[in-house]
Amino acid sequence: MAGNIGSPNPIQPLSVGNVVSAGLRLYRSHLKDYFLLALKAYLWVLIPVYGWAKFYALTALISRLAFGELVNQPESIPSGQRFVNSRLWQFLLTILLLFLVGIGIGIGVVIVFSLLGILSAGLLGGSGQQRNPAIYLLFALVAFVIGIGVFVGVLWLVTRFYLVDLPLAVEDNMDASTAIGRSWELTQGHVWRVLLISFVAFLITLPIQIVVQILTRVLQFVFLPLIQDGSSIYLLLYLVLVLVISFSSGAVLVPFWQTIKAVIYYDLRSRREGLGLKLRDREV
């Protein structure tokens, strides 16, 4: 597996297509193990706080295992799990820090559009005079351009934090804040490439997501009349079935995304560091 990806030169940068195909091969060759890990992670989601940290750690474990394959240092699941469990609270702190970053980004977006609203009220409203249609058209164009700029800016920022879980799951001497800084460092200059890889991966997963949406709609169509009749058992059955579909589809999709992230991480480290890397010593 790793030989197919890395040969003949293991530090040769990968193309977008190679990143996606390498992720697919890793995903297919370890589908059962990765699926069970992801399913276990989803079950932990039901437990607040501690369970969320376990979810993040277990999904990061999938990337750790995939990365080990890429650098020809395959690792057993119990060994990898011991390592990520040793950093469980750092994973929880990472979730908190990323949440705060998300709030900051959201506040920034709100401020931009609030200023735009104030500007529009000042320029276009209130006087009762007939306005030149060209002014409305110009303002609409400016608002559209600003909206696109904000959207692109948010995508750019989110992508800079795309790999946060990988350093925490793989590298030594990492904590939540340094892992965030490490993701920022690795993605510098490669944001649009990472976005392109993610878009291609999204297209690959789209059929599964469509099937899940269809199944969910069918369940709604079947159970909604029964639920409206006041039968609580049908409501419970509906919720259980939706949960099963959601967790099962997530357990299929999350390993694919985590292996893609592992290949991106491998590739970016290859470009920056030549991948003269060794994972920590462990039992295999």
Rounded percentage of the chain residues whose pLDDT exceeds 90: 66
pLDDT at 277: 44
Domain spans of the chain, in order of start: 2-273
Q: Are 169 and 61 in contact (CB under 8 A)?
A: yes
The C-alpha R_g of the chain, in whole angstroms, comes to: 23
Section 272-277 average pLDDT: 63
pLDDT at 112: 87
Token couple for 120: 């529009």
pLDDT at 223: 86
Section 3-9 average pLDDT: 41
pLDDT at 222: 86
pLDDT at 16: 86
pLDDT at 131: 62
Statement: residue 206 has pLDDT above 70 = yes
Task: State pLDDT tens for residues 29-67.
Answer: 999 999 999 999 999 999 999 999 999 999 999 999 999
Task: State pLDDT tens for residues 171-204.
Answer: 999 999 999 999 999 999 899 999 999 999 999 9
Statement: residue 101 has pLDDT above 50 = yes
pLDDT at 126: 52
Which residues, at least 6 apart from 83, have a Cβ–Cβ distance to it below 8 Å? 64, 169, 280, 282
- The pTM (predicted TM-score) of the whole model is 0.85
Q: Are 89 and 52 in contact (CB under 8 A)?
A: no
pLDDT at 124: 66
Mean pLDDT over all residues of the chain? 86
Give how far the C-alpha of residue 27 lies from the chain's centroid of Cα atoms, to the nearest Å: 16
Strands (E), the chain: none
Q: How confident is the model at residue 236 (pLDDT cuts 50, 70, 90)?
A: confident
Lowest-confidence segment of 91-95, 133-137, 155-159 by average pLDDT: 133-137
Q: Are 251 and 38 in contact (CB under 8 A)?
A: yes
Statement: residue 8 has pLDDT above 50 = no
Q: Please choose, from the candidates 135, 138, 143, the residue with its C-alpha nearest in 3D space to the C-alpha of residue 117.
A: 143
